[in-house]
Structure formats: C-alpha cells, structure tokens
Amino acid sequence: MGEIWHQFITGLQQTSLLEFIAVLAGIASVWFSRKENILVYPVGLINTTTYVYLSLKGHLFGEASVNLYYTIMSIYGWILWARKDEHHETVLHITHSNKKEWLRQLAFFAGFYLALYLALNYLKQNFAPEAIPWADAFASATAYTGMWLMARKKVESWYWWIATNIASIPLYFTKGYVFTSFQYLVLLILAIAGLLEWNKKSISRSGRN
C-alpha cells in the first residue's frame, strides 16, 4: 500500500499541465452529463482533444482512438441534445433500452473489441510494446459503446461507463498517467451517481406518459 501511495505522489508530481486540464474537463463533462446538461459536449471536447494528443504521445493507441471517437461523437451528441420541437421543447429524452437495443449494443461492443484487440496486438508486436491489447481493447470498446448510448440518452450508457472506468484505473496507473488514473476513480463514482439519477428520471417520465 505504501509503494502504491509513493507511486501515486511521484506520478502526481510528474503530471503535465495538459493532463491536469484534461482531467478537470473530463470530470466536469461527466458532472454535466449526469445533470443532463448540454455543456457535457463543449467541455468534453476539451478533454477528448487533449487526450488524443497525450495518448498518442504515450503510445496508448487504443485510448487515442477512443478519444478521437469521443470527439466525433461529442459533436453528434451535441446536435441530438440540442434539437427542439416547434414548442421549443427538447426532442430527445432519457429512456431505457429494449431487448433489441440491448442485443445491438452488445454486438456493437463485441465487434469493436475484436477489431481493437487484433489491431493492438499487431501494434504491440511491431510498434508499441507498452500496449496491453486485451485491457486497452476492453476499455476502448466499452467506452465506444457508452459514448454512442450517451448521445442517444440511454440509461444503459452508464453501465458501459462504469466498466470503462473500472478497466481504466489500473490501465493508466501502470502506464504512468497517475492523475488520469485518479480521474477514472472519480468518474467511476460519478458514473454510479449518473446511473441512479438517469434511472430515476426515466422512471419519472414513464410515470407521466
């Protein structure tokens, strides 16, 4: 335990200003998403674009691809969340996935996991020995799925975020991004709170309809 604490303090001292900014923006964006506030997307873009650069620099190719995907999906989600009807009411609302949507998201996850695992395994052998294919692929594929569902305001997006955060805490810690690892611990707590809050909102809306 003492060694882990020492590694945490040392890593924190070595954290760059860019990583601090990215972490703070990431935590803020998840806070906004929990509150169903559209600021999740512009604030999140600060986080994702910064991490594209940091991940490439650290040879975290799976995470770099995730954050590039986040950037694209943030624009997509921003457009969906901003839509209004003729009464200036928000069109998109928080809902649960039905069985067909669950099967679709599981297939979505499996497809991305397999593709990322194979790609990262190749990169590990030839370009990036630091890569951990199975862990990088899992963290990335769950994040891909979570971001897609978040854009569509699905309660189940939080399950995928919880899985991403659990996988990312040790992944980033072993890579030397200690402050980012701490960020994922905070995001895990926020994701659990987000799941509870979105579930409550979905049930409340169902009761009104």
pLDDT tens column, 42-61:
999 999 999 898 888 877 77
DSSP symbol at 192 = H
45 occurs within a structural domain: yes
More confident residue, 205 or 167: 167
Query: What is the pLDDT, as a whole number, of residue 78?
Result: 95
Q: Residue 205 and residue 179: Cα distance in Å, rounded?
A: 38
Two structure tokens written together for 96: 């649960």
Q: Does the pLDDT value for residue 130 go beyond 90?
A: no
Percent of the chain with pLDDT over 90: 49
| CA-closest candidate to residue 193, choices 33, 34, 23, 37 | 34
Q: Does the pLDDT value for residue 97 go beyond 80?
A: yes
168 occurs within a structural domain: yes
Q: Does the pLDDT value for residue 12 go beyond 90?
A: no
Taking a C-beta distance cutoff of 8 angstroms, is the pair 188, 162 a contact? yes
101 occurs within a structural domain: yes
131 occurs within a structural domain: yes
89 occurs within a structural domain: no
Q: Residue 66 and residue 48: Cα distance in Å, rounded?
A: 9
| Average pLDDT value over all residues in the chain | 86
79 occurs within a structural domain: yes
Query: What is the pLDDT, as a whole number, of residue 94?
Result: 94
Taking a C-beta distance cutoff of 8 angstroms, is the pair 147, 70 a contact? yes
Q: Residue 117 and residue 137: Cα distance in Å, rounded?
A: 5
Residue-wise pLDDT for 68-96, tens only, equals 988 999 999 999 999 988 878 888 999 99
Q: What is the pTM of this model?
A: 0.84
DSSP string for residues in 71-129: HHHHHHHHHHHH-B-TTS-BS---B---HHHHHHHHHHHHHHHHHHHHHHHHHHHHT-T
User: How far, CA to CA in Å, does 134 sit from each of 119, 121, 129?
Assistant: 11, 8, 13
Of 1-5, 48-52, 173-177, 198-202, give the lowest mean pLDDT range.
Answer: 1-5
Query: What is the pLDDT, as a whole number, of residue 67?
Result: 85
* Residue 7 CB neighbours (<10 A): 15
Amino acid at 128: A
Q: Does the pLDDT value for residue 125 go beyond 90?
A: no
Query: What is the pLDDT, as a whole number, of residue 69?
Result: 86
Phi, psi of 71 (to 5 degrees): -60, -45
Domain that holds residue 71: 2-83+96-208
Query: What is the pLDDT, as a whole number, of residue 103?
Result: 97
Query: What is the pLDDT, as a whole number, of residue 8?
Result: 61
- H or E element at residue 186: helix 178-208
| pLDDT (average), residues 101-129 | 87
Q: Does the pLDDT value for residue 10 go beyond 70?
A: no
Q: Residue 141 and residue 110: Cα distance in Å, rounded?
A: 8
Query: What is the pLDDT, as a whole number, of residue 4?
Result: 60
- H or E element at residue 171: helix 157-175
More confident residue, 206 or 120: 120
| Total count of domains within the chain | 1
